[in-house]
C-alpha cells in the first residue's frame, strides 16, 4: 500500500512534515525547504507494544497514568495509555505514531500538537512553557499554571477584548537580540463551553479537543505579523493561584526570583525528566528569562461575574510596569 504523502506544517520555530493530518496547524508549501521534524505513522494497533521498563510516569489527579516514557533503542517511546504511542529518536527530529484502533482523529491530533510537539521542541533545547500568552499592544504577557487553572480562560478574556492571542497552552520563550521573545505556536484556544460563552460573549464555531475531554477547540486568526513568524518581546509573567486555594479578591504581588524560577521550571514541558543535561539547561534558561522579565503571582476568585474586574486588574498592572528592554531602544 502506498504511504500517505507528507503534508507540511508550521509549529512555532519548526517546519514539520507529517503523514498525519493536523488541521489546526498553519500549512506550508512542500517546496518551502527541508523539515526540522518528520512525523510518520504506522498502522493502527489493537494491543500496545510490550515495554519492560518505564523511565517515568505522569499521573493524573486521581492517580491514573496519563503518560509514560521509556527508553527504546537510541531514543524514546512516549505512551498515552489506550490511545497512542510515539517513537522519538535521540535527536528528537524523527517521530513515529503508533495509534491504537480506538483513537479518534480529534484525539490523535490533540496528542500530537498539544502533547508530543511541545515535549519534542523542549528536548531539542527550547524553553517551552506551559503557558498562555497574549499580546497587548507591542508586548506580550504570559500566564503560567497547570491544566484547569484558567490560563485559556484568561487568554480568551483578553482576546475577546481585542488583544492578540499568541499561544494557548504552549509558549516558546527565547532570547532574541537582548530580549526575551515569544514564538507563536498555533492560533487556537481550548476551553470549556461555558468559558467560551462567558469570556468571548458571542457564538463561535468549535470542534472537539479529544474524546476524553469536554473542552472545545476554537480557532482564532493571527495578526499578519504573527502569522509571518514575528516574535513579540515578553513584558511580564503571571503565575495563577491554584483554584483549590481560592482567593477572595483580585490582587497581583511580586514573585521572589527563586520562586519564580521554580515556577517556570515546574510549568515547562519536558520529555525526559531523568536527564540531568536537559534539567540543567532548563534551569539556566529559566534563570535567564527571569533576569530580564519580572514575574508576579496573580490571585483571583474563579467566578465569571468578576471577569471584567480580572481583565482590568491585569491590564492596569501591565500599564504600571516600566517599558521592557528600554535600555535597548
- What's the pLDDT tens digit per position in 243-302? 888 788 899 999 999 999 999 999 999 999 999 999 999 999 999 999 999 999 999 988
Residues 80 and 158 in one domain: no
Structural domain that includes position 118: 7-124
Domain count, the chain: 2
Residue 299 grid coordinates = 490571585
Last residue of a domain, one of 109, 124, 139: 124
Residues 189 and 301 in one domain: yes
What is the pLDDT, as a whole number, of residue 206? Answer: 82
- Average pLDDT of the residues in 195-220: 80
CA atoms of 24 and 10, how far apart (whole Å): 10
Residue 201 grid coordinates = 460573549
What is the pLDDT, as a whole number, of residue 225? Answer: 47
What is the pLDDT, as a whole number, of residue 36? Answer: 96
Residues 302 and 209 in one domain: yes
In a domain, 2, yes or no: no
CA atoms of 174 and 13, how far apart (whole Å): 11
Over residues 119-170, the pLDDT tens digits come to 999 999 999 999 999 999 889 999 999 888 889 889 989 998 889 999 888 9
Residue 329 has a CB neighbour count (10 Å cut-off) of 5
Over residues 213-241, the pLDDT tens digits come to 888 888 887 655 444 445 789 999 999 98
Residue 157: CA count within 13 A, CB half-sphere:
22
Amino acid at each position: 500500500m502506498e504511504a500517505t504523502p507528507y503534508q507540511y506544517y508550521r509549529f512555532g520555530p519548526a517546519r514539520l512534515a507529517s503523514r498525519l493530518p493536523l488541521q489546526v496547524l498553519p500549512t506550508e508549501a512542500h517546496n518551502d525547504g527541508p523539515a526540522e521534524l518528520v512525523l510518520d505513522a504506522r498502522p493502527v494497533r489493537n494491543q500496545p507494544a510490550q515495554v519492560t521498563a518505564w523511565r517515568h510516569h505522569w499521573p493524573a489527579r486521581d492517580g491514573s497514568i496519563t503518560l509514560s516514557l521509556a527508553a527504546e533503542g537510541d531514543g524514546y517511546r512516549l505512551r498515552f495509555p489506550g490511545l497512542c504511542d510515539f517513537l522519538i529518536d535521540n535527536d528528537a527530529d524523527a517521530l513515529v505514531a503508533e495509534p491504537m484502533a480506538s483513537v479518534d482523529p480529534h484525539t490523535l491530533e490533540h496528542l500530537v500538537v498539544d502533547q508530543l510537539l511541545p515535549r519534542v521542541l523542549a528536548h531539542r533545547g527550547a524553553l517551552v512553557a506551559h503557558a498562555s500568552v497574549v499580546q497587548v499592544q507591542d508586548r506580550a504577557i504570559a500566564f503560567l499554571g497547570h491544566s484547569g487553572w484558567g490560563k485559556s480562560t484568561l487568554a480568551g478574556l483578553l482576546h475577546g477584548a481585542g488583544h492578540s492571542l499568541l499561544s494557548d497552552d504552549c509558549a516558546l520563550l527565547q532570547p532574541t537580540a537582548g530580549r526575551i521573545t515569544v514564538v507563536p505556536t498555533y492560533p487556537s484556544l481550548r476551553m470549556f463551553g461555558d468559558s467560551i460563552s462567558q469570556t468571548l460573549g458571542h457564538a463561535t464555531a468549535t470542534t472537539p479537543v479529544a474524546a476524553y475531554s469536554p473542552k472545545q477547540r476554537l480557532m482564532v486568526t493571527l495578526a499578519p505579523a504573527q502569522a509571518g513568524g514575528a516574535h513579540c518581546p515578553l513584558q511580564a509573567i503571571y503565575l495563577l493561584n491554584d483554584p483549590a486555594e481560592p482567593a477572595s479578591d483580585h490582587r497581583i504581588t511580586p514573585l521572589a526570583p527563586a520562586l519564580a524560577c521554580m515556577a517556570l521550571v515546574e510549568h515547562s514541558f519536558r520529555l525526559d525528566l531523568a536527564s540531568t543535561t536537559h534539567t540543567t539547561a532548563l534551569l539556566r534558561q529559566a534563570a535567564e528569562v527571569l533576569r530580564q522579565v519580572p514575574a508576579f503571582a496573580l490571585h483571583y476568585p474563579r467566578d465569571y461575574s468578576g471577569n471584567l474586574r480580572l481583565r482590568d486588574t491585569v491590564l492596569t498592572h501591565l500599564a504600571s510596569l516600566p517599558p521592557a528592554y528600554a535600555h535597548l531602544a
